[in-house]
Amino acid sequence: MSSSAISLPVCSCCRRPVMPNDKCVKFHCPSCGEDLVWRCQSCREAARGYECGSCGFAGP
């Protein structure tokens, strides 16, 4: 029997795993378009900041 692990995306702000039914958003960095940014519902509502790992762009 083989077991495969599921890799969940992580919120770019709080670093918690994003569950499949969460009301989250994902988008590419608005500055460089390289990194995929994930934001959970809690971080979006609180307007917590994130930073692009590729270009350093910081957004709300």
User: Residue 6 contacts by C-beta under 8 Å, 6 or more apart in sequence?
Assistant: none
Report if residue 14 sits inside a domain: yes
Residue 4 pLDDT:
72
Domain hosting residue 45, numbered range: 8-49
pLDDT tens column, 12-22: 999 999 998 88
Evaluate whether residue 55 is within a structural domain.
Answer: no
Residue type, 13: C
User: Are the C-beta atoms of residues 57 and 31 closer than 8 Å to each other?
Assistant: yes
Tens digits of residue pLDDT in 5-49? 889 999 999 999 999 888 999 999 999 999 999 999 999 999 999
Residue 2 pLDDT > 80:
no
Q: pLDDT value at position 20? A: 87
pLDDT at position 55:
95
In a domain, 35, yes or no: yes
24 domain-assigned: yes
